[in-house]
Structure 1
């Protein structure tokens, strides 16, 4: 008998930072099946430029980080969760270092930067490709871990629960398994486990303009909702103020760190305008800056505004922001000489599957971590660089809960075969693509940066 047969098993869906860290934590005591919608090295984590927030300097404090998070969240944060995550931050940084992550440093130690709505320099970074570098190190750990089985190219379709079984009734639904479409074979595959941890990320791709990767379509939220889990705060979509505005580049983010270092927002006339909208200028919370840019564009009739970094030395910009510098340069924009054209774009889903502080959903054995979840950490608006912290802190809480439960492994369920309801043809695909485009336009126009009851009703 295989020793793994005597141990509880976990199914982790999603391979961003939340999913990878969950798999690594759990693999210390149980076998894990890790599911990727695409390939292992895909997802929004790879696109995270700025860094991860943690109060690790002598001039900073846990309390300051807590207060900044509450301020950015517009009074709608869950204080208990905020305290828990922020207090974990230094330990989670050590976990990353244990997994091989090396943050940028200076003569005083780890180099810390300031970003919008932070009262102190507390953002640890790896130049301007922090998420990608972290993801690479954790992916290496995953591939060399014998207790983790990786399955790629599996698109989540639906969950199978006790409520799905016609002959079983219970007050509380229990997760039994999940169905996935294999994008390579076009066949449906099913998986079962003792615990399912949902880490599928957000839904930014449902908007016409977004900083998110193509797979951020809210699959996990939809599947959990259909299975009977409550969702919350889905109206709180955060719009990043500065996405590159260019005909050949619709999804490239211009990091918050540039404004943190002193970059200024100007209109086409070269006029710095944030003083009209906030006393915190370019370092106001993201929602404030995004609305201000939107209002300025409407006032001037322009398609974009500009982020001016021309006061900085070219060599410094190349060394500190190599990814941004190279991408802009490839499009004919020398950011040391010309301001960067930028517009707001859908960036982060602050709502999601409702969970408690330990990631538990309304469905037994189903947990949610990272952006797909909602427990009040971000409130109505996420503080810059708190997303990677959330991934780690939420996954650690879930894993401590699961590993502390001492659950006896169940006999794996025989999940019924997926029922195919019809055949696919080219006409259907054309209709689907058309509807998808219309949905994204509708979301942008009526459920966008500035919302009203009338616009929401139209949507």
Structure 2
């Protein structure tokens, strides 16, 4: 079996991974950066981000207001220093993206067409129509293509990190675990080989596929968090799962089509079947309350009325302006027979974002030596208990820059990596004759989580979820140990890990806040 060596190994090709790669490649032209991604190089949660990037740009806005809005949305569970750092570095991140060729929307007087979203006290969302993430991904990939010292490996899947545990008989409880790279599967050949690097950077995205209804793409199976957990990195705040209030209601569709929060910022109303704007009775901010409040209100409306969805009413909006701002949303609605001038859009909450993940410091360093992480797979302290809309792309940009800055500043202090990783041992395994069991267990996890560990939880639901997940985990372990590995089996293994982390950390939390809500705790107060 071959062993591959590189200077910097990056797992994930979204905004965090590619930004880190670009910064490192430009500053260290003699170093090789390898970006590994399990689908094609453009497939990531970044690509599907509609709304934009929250940036203080308008003269009437202020850093203090953006900080306050972020803290309020996160119910002050945020790290204030991290919030201040990210908010104040946002304008420079935008200038960096624009210098690389990113195109954003301007108004008729040549200024940014700033949008407003839930939880924001000002217009501060910089966007490219309703496909901001797609535009950023395009920009970053064009930059990558110009840099000869970046190599991108699509259709390569990270299975496990390589640490002291694989290299020697080590006490797995010691505190100085070091990462040396990762075992990577080439999906075209199914070969599993070690990739060794002086620094490994996890930018492996979100967890949305652990739920039956999610806005995340099929690749969002929590791989980075699960790999880090198995390597004994600290994972925190997994109970804070953000559900986007307005995913298009299309039963059995995964991922769900997102109706951007910016549509409500543009003036759309949430209504029930009777045509009533129920949010006004819940929060004085109405449709523009933070996402956790809106999602719970919709969930309550659905449960109390017995309906399967609520409606987003755009019929009163300027249609030409709507098309200009949201062309893809309009096209999607027309494709399923909804003319937003005459009909309301059926919407439901869907799993959207993980506020918790791998604990990192402000340099992006994890609790494992030589392992960094950035993006949705991390817990930085920015989001607290609930992410403020359009702060996620911003967080990824800021932390990618911090990781690059830290690596560059300490490039002369890098310890040599002279290791020979053991060959991947799959003796005694066989290729499954059919994949129906994997599909069955994946669907089972998704329905356990959606039914028992979603927007509103209870102690009994959490206990029941843990019980059912133990059975699935045992069955998955048997599959994993006895089978030639495939992406499907590895993703199932990771989804098991993510589901259990959410349930375990939910069971430990005794206070409702943000994306975590246990109705038994309300009754106990």
> Normalised by the shorter chain, which TM-score bucket?
over 0.9
Where do residues 350-369 of structure 1 align in structure 2 (5 Å cutoff)?
Answer: 350-369=355-374
Structure 2 Cα separation of the partners of residues 351 and 411 of structure 1: 31
Say whether residues 1:181 and 2:185 are aligned partners: yes
Distance 1:221 1:131, change over 3 A: same
Structure 1 Cα separation of the partners of residues 302 and 169 of structure 2: 58
For structure 1, the 5+ residue unaligned runs are none
Find the residue that maps to 1:292 and give its secondary structure.
helix
Alignment match, 1:253: 258
| Partners of 2:39 and 2:155 within 8 A in 1 | yes
Stretch deviating more after TM superposition (190-199 or 105-114): 105-114
Say whether residues 1:92 and 2:123 are aligned partners: no
Would you identify which runs of 4 or more consecutive aligned residues in structure 1 move more than 3 Å?
167-171, 247-250
Alignment match, 1:11: 9
CA-to-aligned-CA distance 1:390-440 (integer Å, 9 cap, x gap): 11011111111111113346245322111115112124x221111110000
Alignment match, 1:265: 270
Where do residues 291-440 of structure 1 align in structure 2 (5 Å cutoff)?
Answer: 291-405=296-410, 406-408=412-414, 410-421=416-427, 422-427=429-434, 429-440=435-446
Say whether residues 1:289 and 2:294 are aligned partners: yes
Structure 2 Cα separation of the partners of residues 118 and 151 of structure 1: 39
CA-to-aligned-CA distance 1:267-306 (integer Å, 9 cap, x gap): 1121111112111110000000000000011111100000
Which one of the candidate residues 191, 196, 218 is aligned to 2:195?
191
How far did 1:249 drift?
Answer: 4.3
How far did 1:85 drift?
Answer: 0.6
Alignment match, 1:131: 133
CA-to-aligned-CA distance 1:69-115 (integer Å, 9 cap, x gap): 00000121011111111110000000100110011001151110110
Stretch deviating more after TM superposition (22-31 or 371-380): 22-31
Stretch deviating more after TM superposition (81-90 or 397-406): 397-406
Say whether residues 1:219 and 2:220 are aligned partners: no
How far did 1:202 drift?
Answer: 1.1
For structure 2, the 5+ residue unaligned runs are 466-525
Find the residue that maps to 1:426 and give its secondary structure.
coil
| Partners of 1:192 and 1:412 within 8 A in 2 | no
| Partners of 1:177 and 1:415 within 8 A in 2 | no
Structure 1 Cα separation of the partners of residues 290 and 206 of structure 2: 20
Alignment match, 2:37: 36
How far did 1:165 drift?
Answer: 2.1
Find the residue that maps to 1:338 and give its secondary structure.
coil
Structure 1 Cα separation of the partners of residues 170 and 461 of structure 2: 42
Distance 1:171 1:298, change over 3 A: closer
Alignment match, 2:508: none
TM-score, normalization by structure 1:
0.96
How far did 1:168 drift?
Answer: 5.1
Stretch deviating more after TM superposition (449-458 or 380-389): 449-458
Find the residue that maps to 1:92 and give its secondary structure.
helix
Alignment match, 1:450: 456
TM-score, normalization by structure 2:
0.84
Alignment match, 1:233: 237
How far did 1:364 drift?
Answer: 0.4
Alignment match, 2:165: 163
Alignment match, 1:83: 84
| Partners of 2:167 and 2:422 within 8 A in 1 | no
| Partners of 2:267 and 2:317 within 8 A in 1 | no
Stretch deviating more after TM superposition (398-407 or 244-253): 244-253
Stretch deviating more after TM superposition (167-176 or 23-32): 167-176
How far did 1:375 drift?
Answer: 1.8
Structure 2 Cα separation of the partners of residues 132 and 172 of structure 1: 39
Find the residue that maps to 1:217 and give its secondary structure.
coil
CA RMSD of aligned residues (A): 1.4
Structure 2 Cα separation of the partners of residues 235 and 93 of structure 1: 31
Structure 1 Cα separation of the partners of residues 132 and 84 of structure 2: 24
Structure 1 Cα separation of the partners of residues 184 and 7 of structure 2: 18
Structure 2 Cα separation of the partners of residues 275 and 109 of structure 1: 32
| Partners of 2:180 and 2:417 within 8 A in 1 | no
Number of residue equivalences: 452
Which one of the candidate residues 21, 40, 44 is aligned to 2:19?
21
Structure 1 Cα separation of the partners of residues 408 and 182 of structure 2: 22
Where do residues 118-157 of structure 1 align in structure 2 (5 Å cutoff)?
Answer: 118-157=120-159
